[in-house]
Chains A and B, each alone.
Chain A
Amino acid sequence: NAGVTQTPKFQVLKTGQSMTLQCAQDMNHNSMYWYRQDPGMGLRLIYYSASEGTTDKGEVPNGYNVSRLNKREFSLRLESAAPSQTSVYFCASQRETQYFGPGTRLLVL
């Protein structure tokens, strides 16, 4: 039982490049979330998916897209990366409380 897994662990992008952050959970949870963590800001919600087939915007959705591929997987895509998207990204799934993955550190140059 791996819980919530995220790939990659670390990524460096140049401005304008695109990439997809992958997230998978094996706990059969319906709800999944993407957050970003910046210094002094705590975690801020980017997008969430209450169930398979649905996605909704969170607090800071601009510049991102998501796909809930199936119940297990919820991916986050940056179409054209900007330096302001340099952050640590956390995926979470929820039953009663939210369980977080280990994070993806993204550096956009």
Chain B
Amino acid sequence: DQQVKQNSPSLSVQEGRISILNCDYTNSMFDYFLWYKKYPAEGPTFLISISSIKDKNEDGRFTVFLNKSAKHLSLHIVPSQPGDSAVYFCAASEGGGTSYGKLTFGQGTILTVHP
């Protein structure tokens, strides 16, 4: 039973346009959500996170939106750059409102940004 789902295996975007990556979850106990980025032959690296008490968090070109009622979050990248091409993983935690705790990951979405 996949508690965190990324239903789009891949996404292709033109450089300069917006990339929107989506993630759905089923466990209502999740209260902290993260996005990780992964390049081939490397480990995932932390990108951005959001607590369930917020509905938006922004860091430069990256914004994460959380819709608790829909159990849905999305990552927006504006503007997209070729260096953003990577696999993006959504993850969730029952951290008790903090970032601590075990992570449950989605399957990942391969983002390709074309020059």
Contact = CB atoms under 8 A, between A and B. Distances in A.
Asked if chains A and B come from one complex, the reply is: yes
B43 A90 contact: yes
17 contacts: A31-B100, A41-B107, A42-B106, A42-B107, A43-B105, A44-B105, A45-B102, A45-B104, A48-B102, A92-B43, A97-B34, A98-B46, A98-B103, A99-B46, A100-B43, A102-B42, A103-B43
Interface residues of B, number: 24
Interface residues of A, number: 24
Given A42-B107, A100-B36, A102-B42, 12 more contacts: A33-B103, A35-B105, A40-B107, A42-B89, A48-B102, A59-B104, A90-B44, A96-B98, A97-B34, A97-B46, A100-B43, A103-B42
A45 B99 contact: no
A2 to B, nearest CB: 13
